[in-house]
Amino acid sequence: MESAEEISNRRRLRHTIERIPVVTLSNGGELALTFHTLEDGAGPVVGVSAAIHGDEPISVEIIRRLAAHLDQPGVEVNGTVRLLPVANPPAYEANTRHSPVDHLN
C-alpha cells in the first residue's frame, strides 16, 4: 500500500483559477466569469457549471465541494475537469432567476 507521501508525489493534479472578462457594462464595470481547472495529464475533459439561474445557490456549493474533493491527496483525475461556479453573475448577485440586466432567462 502506498503512503500518503508516495500518493502525493505521484499525483500531479494542477488546480488553476482563471477569471475571464466577458463584457464591459454600461456603468463601466466589468462582467467576468471565474473558471477552476483541475487537470492531470491527457484524457477526457468534462465541464460543470452552476448558478445559471441566480436563485439556485445550492449549485454553487456543490461545485465548491466537488473542487475541494478533487483537490484532496489520493483522488485521481485522469484528464481535465473545468468548473464554472457562477454562470450568471448578475442574477446570482441579485438572487433572482433572471438577469436583472435584461430580465430574460
Query: pLDDT confidence of 104, banded at 50, 70, 90?
Result: low
Average pLDDT over residues 96-102: 78
Residues pairing with 18 in the sheet:
35
Q: Do 82 and 18 contact (CB within 8 A), yes or no? A: no
Residue 95 dihedral angles phi and psi, to the nearest 5° = 55, 45
Q: Residue 73 has what pLDDT?
A: 86
Global pTM value: 0.79
Give 53-95 pLDDT, tens digit per residue: 999 999 999 999 999 999 888 888 899 999 999 999 999 999 9
Query: pLDDT confidence of 98, banded at 50, 70, 90?
Result: confident
Give 1-50 pLDDT, tens digit per residue: 555 555 544 556 899 999 999 999 888 889 999 999 999 888 999 999 99
Residue whose entry in the numeric block shows the C-alpha cell 481547472: 37
Residues pairing with 37 in the sheet:
16, 82
Provide the residue count of the chain. Answer: 105
HSE-CB of 82 using CA atoms within 13 angstroms:
11
